[in-house]
Amino acid sequence: MVGLARRTTELLLLGALLAWAGAALVQGRLEALRKGPALAERLRYLPSGEALRFFSLGYEQLLADLLWLQTVQYIGSTRTFPPGDRTLYNLAETVTTLDPNYVSPYVASGGILAAFAHQYEESNRILRKAIDQLGDDLKRDPMGWWVPFFLGFNHFFYLNDPAQAGAYYAMAAEMPGSPGYLPRLAAKLLAEGGDMEEAIAFLQRIVEESPDPVTTEIFGEALKDLVTRQHLEGLRAAARAFVARAGRHPRSLHELVRAGLLREIPPHPRGGRYRLDPVTGEPESVLPGGR
C-alpha cells in the first residue's frame, strides 16, 4: 500500500515536472521570439500547433493565450506584409490548433490576412476552419457571425464570386448579433450578383457605423481599393473614347477633362494620384511617393 502511494506520488511529481518543463520551453521560445530578430524570420523555430499540444500537457488554452498575445504584437508592429510571407497565417493556424474554440483569432487573423496581407485563400482557410471546428457552437459566440461575414466579404470583394458571398452572408444573417442589413444584402447578391456602386455603398455603411476601430480600418482598406478600381475604370473608359474620337492617346488626364470626356480628375483615396502610363497611355494609380 505504501509502495503504491509512493509510486503515485512519484508519477504526480513527474507529471508536474514535465508540465513545468513543457510550459517553460514554450514560454522561453515565445520570449526569444519577442526579444530576438523579427518574428517573421524566427517563426520556423516555433513548434507546430500539434507539437505544442503535446508539450502543454493539458494547458493548451494557456499556450494559445500566450501565443495570441505574441501574434497581436506582431500584427501591431507590422504595417506591410511581404508578398508570400506566411507568418501571420502560421501563427493563426497554430493558435487555433491549440485552442479550436477561441473565436477571436479566427476573426482577427482572417480579416487581416485578406485586407492587409492580400492572402485571400489563407484567410478563407482560417475562417472555414472556425466553421469546421466549432459547428453550431459558433452561433453561440457573440463574435461568431463575423466568421461567415468575412468569408462573404472575401468572396465578393476579392474573389469576384457574389453567389458564394451571398450564401455566406445568409449564414451570418441567421446568427445572433449580426447587422440588420445582411438579409437584404444576401438576397441581392444571390439574386443579382451585386455591382460596384452597391459594393461601395455597402462598405461605406460598415465604415461609418462600426464602433470598432480595427473593423473600421479593415473595411476602410477594402473601400479604398474598391474606389481606386472604380476611378480607374472610369478613366480608362474616357481614354478609350478619346482614342476613338481623336485617333491617338491623350497626352494627359487634363486633356480628357478639356475634351469633355471627364468631369474632373478624381481624388486618390490613398492620397496618391492618377496618371497616364508614359508607354501604353493607359490610366494608372500612383501611390504617395511614387513617380
pLDDT tens, residue by residue, 92-149 = 999 999 899 999 999 999 999 998 889 999 999 999 999 999 999 999 999 999 999 9
C-alpha cell at 253: 488626364
Span 30-36, mean pLDDT?
47
Please give the residue that has the higher pLDDT: either 46 or 64. Answer: 64
The residue-averaged pLDDT of 255-267 equals 94
**Which residues, 6 or more positions from 233, have their beta carbon under 8 angstroms from its beta carbon?**
196
| Listed ranges 38-42, 181-185, 273-277; the one with the highest mean pLDDT | 273-277
- Percentage above 90 pLDDT, the chain: 40
Average model confidence (pLDDT) for the chain? 80
pLDDT at res. 202: 73
Among residues 74, 65, 68, 63, which one has the least CA distance to residue 34? Answer: 74
**Domain extents in the chain:** 214-291
SS3 for 286?
strand
pLDDT tens digits along 186-243: 767 766 665 677 778 777 877 887 777 877 887 788 888 889 989 999 999 999 999 9
- Model confidence pLDDT, tens digit, residues 274-287: 999 988 889 999 98
Q: What is the DSSP letter of 154?
A: I
What pLDDT is attached to residue 216?
82
pLDDT at 32: 47
Predicted local confidence at residue 72, as pLDDT: 85
The lowest-confidence range among 11-25, 35-49, 173-187 is 11-25
Identity at 17, one-letter amino acid code: L
In order, the DSSP letters of 216-282 are HHHHHHHHHHHHHHHHHHHHHHHHHHHHHHHSS--SSHHHHHHTTS-S-PPPPTTS-EEEE-TTT--
Q: Judge residue 282's burial from the number of C-beta atoms within 10 Å of its C-beta, 0-12 exposed, 13-18 middle, 19 or more buried.
A: middle
Average pLDDT for 175-188: 79
Cβ neighbors of 123 (< 8 A, separation 6 or more) are: 109, 110, 111, 113, 114, 117, 150, 154
Q: What is the largest CA-CA distance in the chain?
A: 103
Task: Give percent of the chain above pLDDT 70.
Answer: 78
Query: Which pTM does this prediction carry?
Result: 0.63
Q: What is the pLDDT of residue 19?
A: 44
Per-residue pLDDT at 223: 85
Per DSSP (E only), the strands in the chain are 273-276, 283-286
Residue 14 reports pLDDT greater than 80: no
Can you give the pLDDT at residue 5?
42
